[in-house]
Amino acid sequence: MRRTTALRTALSAVLLVGAWAGAGFPSASASPSAADAPTAVGTDTRQASTGLIAAMQQDLGLTESQARARLTAEKTATAIQPEARRAAGASYGGSWFDASTGGLTVAVTSRKQAAAVRATGAAVRLVTHTERSLDAVKAKLDRLHAPAGVSSWHVDPEANKVVVDVVASAQSDNDVRTFLAQARNAGPVTVEQTDEAPRTFSAGTVGGDPYYTGNVRCSIGFSVYGGFVTAGHCGQAGASVSGWDGSGIGNFQGSSFPGDDYAWVSVGNGWWTVPVVLGWGTVSDQLVRGSAVAPVGASICRSGSTSHWHCGNVLATNETVNYSQGAVHEMTKTSVCAEPGDSGGSFISGDQAQGVTSGGWGNCSSGGETWHQPINEILNRYGLTLHTA
């Protein structure tokens, strides 16, 4: 992208070269402390654009006042979540944003810690299992061979169990039954049904505002200093990358898939990076101010080169997704739709970067679910710094 190009082109280049995290779905593996570490925290909810509010009204069924109130409440919940976790100590059983109350709920196994958690502003629920014990159960499932009919599995803090999602049409499959029997032997597990198996959302070359690797089109995620982050399934280390206008951007400097689904691309040849997520005319282009992790239950929006801008809710974190290419760990599941070519695109909550699009099921006509690779895991893995406003 040359600096002499028109404004729209410049904004597209902004997204393609530096402000985004690519186009794919599989997850990255990182410790909870690393994954939760934000680069910055934005606090001014008045900066929410009218387009963002309109998108939340359309996709989440909210009124304008409800959308603004929810953004304010989610900002507060995101800010107190780390403090509430510290207050819970070893009895921590997970946390989630409760849209019905507008607050953060924290699960604890000890009544002794309840008062300290409430003092942070969070509500408390007494549970049987700690997050650490449930993570250990999930780790046992990660070591099992999962058949194609098993979609994913994650720790559900509200259910206080490990949830295994099975494709409805495969629930009677013998291999699926065997996997579920082994899963139940590992600890507290519950089974839910999903409509389709997950898949990645890369696509063949078509027009739009993408980036390309060979005949594969993906979407930029977030700018980092020196380049942008994206999905690992979009390209291998060393592969060259070109922009929507065919000019060279740079090369994949690192890539991992499956197991993880993250990568980063260096930027050069007249391209530069900016802290912006493209709104595609649906909303105003969104400034990126940090990467504080939104809790389960919070609203989240996604931008991609095929289906553009859509919103939904965070459904689960630390989920293992069973793609046909192999399992990917520590993913975040959302109710946001996506389509082929959206892989690597930005997931953002308010002005906080959340992750890059990895994969999912369904589409933006009939609906579906989409996973993203958490942004902080990618930054930590490659020693990158998010470009923020």
Beta carbons of 24 and 235 less than 8 angstroms apart: no
What distance in Å separates the CA atoms of residue 87 and residue 292, rounded to the nearest whole number? 19
Task: Determine whether 172 is an active site residue.
Answer: no
Among 43, 126, 54, residue whose Cα is nearest residue 281: 54
Q: What's the residue count for the chain?
A: 389
Phi, psi of 371 (to 5 degrees): -105, 150
What distance in Å separates the CA atoms of residue 70 and residue 61, rounded to the nearest whole number? 12
Task: Determine whether 233 is an active site residue.
Answer: yes
Catalytic residue among 36, 98, 261, 351: 261
In the chain, what is the greatest distance between 2 CA atoms, to the nearest angstrom? Answer: 63
Token pair for residue 347? 């997931």
Task: Determine whether 261 is an active site residue.
Answer: yes
What distance in Å separates the CA atoms of residue 376 and residue 389, rounded to the nearest whole number? 17
Catalytic residue among 233, 310, 329, 387: 233
Please give the span between the terminal C-alpha atoms of the chain, in angstroms, as a whole number: 21
Beta carbons of 24 and 231 less than 8 angstroms apart: yes
What distance in Å separates the CA atoms of residue 333 and residue 319, rounded to the nearest whole number? 7
Catalytic residue among 343, 346, 349, 358: 343
User: Token pair 């069924």 is at which residue?
Assistant: 61
Residues marked as catalytic: 233, 261, 343
